[in-house]
Structure formats: structure tokens, C-alpha cells
A and B are shown apart, each in its own frame.
Chain A
Amino acid sequence: MAAELEIVSREALFDLALRLGDTSLVLGHRLSEWAGHGPLLEEDIALSNLGLDLIGQARSFLSYAGEVEGKGRDEDKLAFFRNAPEYKNLLMVELPKGDFAFTMVRQLLFSAFHLPLFRRMINSTDTTIAAIAAKAEKEMSYHLRHSSQWVVRMGDGTEESHARCQKAVDDLWPYTGEVFEVDNNARELIEAGIWVDPEYLRDEWNGTLDAVLNEATLKKPESGWMQSGGISGTHSEHLGHLLAEMQSVQRAYPGLKW
């Protein structure tokens, strides 16, 4: 780690680790909200498994963020004692879980981008980021497989499941632009070979989505105006509610362990 910090600023690396960690944490939490509410027992457990993969990734990224920051904050401090404006997650993942179609379409859009992202990050010049990516890549591969299957089933299913799926695609689409955003911090890391220019992932992302949506008889919306703000800390009203619930125990009993 020390070697990297000579060529990039601590702030930039901290920012990236938060961006990845927060995104995984918030989506993991949204998936955990399905526990006990899944459409069938098998899928209830599957959703918890997906959520736990993401919370594991969040733990690794946030723990590294704390190490880079060097102020003694561990992953729990970062997860449970920051407010919404300090969170750097993508807006897409903080939206309420919605119906099962919405949850699966979001998982598809998310994993279709994050699979190629992590696959390239395995070659990151930052060895910690590379190691986390190597583990996360296999998890994303399964998330993509699982969500694709469901989107195809529902899209090419009944009239109602098709309509719900198409609505989810349309509602989520304006949130997909954010994954390609690159700010100054990100640019610095891309130039140092620590991170990947998301523009290189666009073709693969489009190719994956075209194949799945086509088989699911769903329409991919035209690219239009895109939401923005998550990675700079400007969030929707939903994140505050999510954090209030997720952080309530640690806020009431700081440092509590079980």
C-alpha cells in the first residue's frame, strides 16, 4: 500500500475504496430486506446469499478505506458512524427494493457492469484492491447468472411479469449513467493503473444487457438524461431512511459486539 501512496493521493484512494464499499454495503442491505419476504423459500435464501456476498465485499473495501485513511477508523466505524452525505454509493443501489422484478433488474444492471469491472481490477497495481476484486469477480459472475435467468423468465413470462420487468428497466435506466462517471480522484487512480476507466467497459456492459433483454423480450431504453450525485454524496431521500435502520443498533450502543 505504501508504494501506491507515493504515486497517488491518500484522498483519491480512500474515495475509491469508499465508493466501492458503500455501493456494495447499501445494495447488500437492500437485498437483506428480502429475508423472510422472498417469493418462495428457495429464492428467499438465494437473495440473502447475494446480499451476504455484497456485505463481505463492503467489509473488505471499507476495512481498506480505513487503513488508507489512517485515522483509526475500521470498517464498522465507517459503515455505522457516517451520515448520508458522507456515503459515496451509486444512487441505483439505494432505491427501495420495490417488487421482485425491480430487485432482479437492478441486480442485472449492477452485476453486468461490476463483473467486467472487477475482472479488470484483478490487474490493479494496488495489490489489496486486486485481491478483493479477484474474490468479488466470482461472486458477480453468479449474481449475473442468477439475475439474468430471472429477468428472462419474467420478461418472457406472463403479461404481468413482463410489464413489471419493463417498468423496472425503464425506472432504473436513468441511474445507469453514474457507473461511467469519472471525477478527478478517479482519473488520478486510472492513470496510476489502480482503477479501470469505465468507458472501456461500456461495450461489454451493453453487449450483456442486449443479450439478456433481447431474450427476455424487453426493450432497452434510449440513453437520455442520467441521474448523478451519489459518488459526490448527494443522495436521494431513501438513503437516510436506510442508514437510520442499518445503523440504529450501533448508534444506540456504540461498539456493541455479538
Chain B
Amino acid sequence: MSDNKDMMPLWEVFVRSKNGLSHTHAGSVHATDAEMALQNARDIYTRRAEGVSIWVVPSAEITASDPSSKGEMFEPSGTKIYRHPTFYDIPEEVGHM
């Protein structure tokens, strides 16, 4: 369907697997509009009971970070292990967290 790119733009699909969790990216679909994108997403990404809610977003509307600026964006956090909450002793009574 490469000649349909303009009529059938790409949409990113986010599915929430159950109440209380957040929507996560599942993949993408082609569709002419939001309603068709929702139905296509439902038919492709929730046919094995994967979800209770779907978001669709035009792929063109997504602003992504630039892979070439990976260094400045993400490396600084790599050495700051003290930001992980793993330096506490958890009382036994609290149980598994």
C-alpha cells in the first residue's frame, strides 16, 4: 500500500492492559482517520484480550529525541546510581515492595 501513504497515514497505538497500569506502545496501524485507527488497533493489538483501553496518535504528531544527541540526553544519568531507591533497609514487616 505504498501509494496510499497520503490517504492512509500511520498511527501509533498505545494499549492499557488492565486498570491501574499505564498505556504502553503496542505498534502502529494505517488508517484514514482516528475512528478507523481505533478499530484497526482493536482488531490487531487486542485480539488476544491484551487490553481494556486504546489510544491512537498520528505518528507525525510525535516529537522524538534525536539519536545523535543520545550522549547529552542520557549519559549524565548513567553514573547517578544514588537516584535508584535501593539504598534503604526495608523493615521486614513491610514485606515485598
A146-B39, A149-B36, A149-B39 as given contacts; A42 in contact with B31, CB under 8 Å: yes
Is A164 in the interface zone, CB < 8 Å from B?
Answer: no
Interface pair A49/B8, CB less than 8 Å apart: no
Interface pair A46/B43, CB less than 8 Å apart: yes
Q: Taking beta carbons and an 8 Å cutoff, which residues of A are in contact with B? A: 40-43, 45-46, 49, 145-146, 149, 153
| Chain A residues whose C-beta falls within 8 Å of the C-beta of B4 in the assembled complex | 40
| Chain B residues whose C-beta falls within 8 Å of the C-beta of A41 in the assembled complex | 1, 30
Interface pair B36/A40, CB less than 8 Å apart: no
Closest residue on chain B to residue A153 by CB atoms: B32
A42-B30, A45-B44 known; 11 new pairs, CB 8 Å cut-off, are: A40-B1, A40-B8, A41-B30, A42-B29, A42-B31, A42-B40, A45-B43, A45-B47, A49-B47, A149-B39, A153-B32
Interface pair A42/B43, CB less than 8 Å apart: yes
A146-B39, A149-B39 as given contacts; A42 in contact with B32, CB under 8 Å: no
| Smallest CB-CB A-B distances: 3 pairs | A42-B40, A46-B43, A49-B43
| Chain B residues whose C-beta falls within 8 Å of the C-beta of A40 in the assembled complex | 1, 4, 8, 30
Closest residue on chain A to residue B35 by CB atoms: A149
| Chain A residues whose C-beta falls within 8 Å of the C-beta of B1 in the assembled complex | 40-41
| A-side interface mostly | helix
Closest residue on chain B to residue A52 by CB atoms: B47
Q: Taking beta carbons and an 8 Å cutoff, which residues of B are in contact with A? A: 1, 4, 8, 29-32, 35-36, 39-40, 43-44, 47
| Chain A residues whose C-beta falls within 8 Å of the C-beta of B36 in the assembled complex | 149, 153
* Shortest beta-carbon distance from B47 to chain A in Å: 6
* Shortest beta-carbon distance from A56 to chain B in Å: 13
- 26 CB contacts below 8 A, A to B, read A40-B1, A40-B4, A40-B8, A40-B30, A41-B1, A41-B30, A42-B29, A42-B30, A42-B31, A42-B40, A42-B43, A42-B44, A43-B40, A45-B44, A45-B47, A46-B39, A46-B40, A49-B43, A49-B47, A145-B39, A146-B39, A149-B35, A149-B36, A149-B39, A153-B32, A153-B36
Closest residue on chain A to residue B43 by CB atoms: A46
| Chain A residues whose C-beta falls within 8 Å of the C-beta of B39 in the assembled complex | 46, 145-146, 149
* Shortest beta-carbon distance from A142 to chain B in Å: 8
* Shortest beta-carbon distance from B11 to chain A in Å: 10
Closest residue on chain A to residue B39 by CB atoms: A146
| Chain A residues whose C-beta falls within 8 Å of the C-beta of B31 in the assembled complex | 42
| Chain B residues whose C-beta falls within 8 Å of the C-beta of A145 in the assembled complex | 39
| Chain B residues whose C-beta falls within 8 Å of the C-beta of A43 in the assembled complex | 40
* Shortest beta-carbon distance from B70 to chain A in Å: 32
How many angstroms between the C-alpha atoms of A42 and B29 in the bound complex? 7
Closest residue on chain B to residue A39 by CB atoms: B1
Most chain A beta carbons < 10 A, residue from B30, B31, B43: B43
| Chain B residues whose C-beta falls within 8 Å of the C-beta of A42 in the assembled complex | 29-31, 40, 43-44
* Shortest beta-carbon distance from B35 to chain A in Å: 6
How many angstroms between the C-alpha atoms of A29 and B1 in the bound complex? 26
Most chain B beta carbons < 10 A, residue from A40, A42, A46, A145: A42
| Chain A residues whose C-beta falls within 8 Å of the C-beta of B47 in the assembled complex | 45, 49
* Shortest beta-carbon distance from B16 to chain A in Å: 19
* Shortest beta-carbon distance from B28 to chain A in Å: 10
* Shortest beta-carbon distance from B9 to chain A in Å: 13
How many angstroms between the C-alpha atoms of A151 and B39 in the bound complex? 15
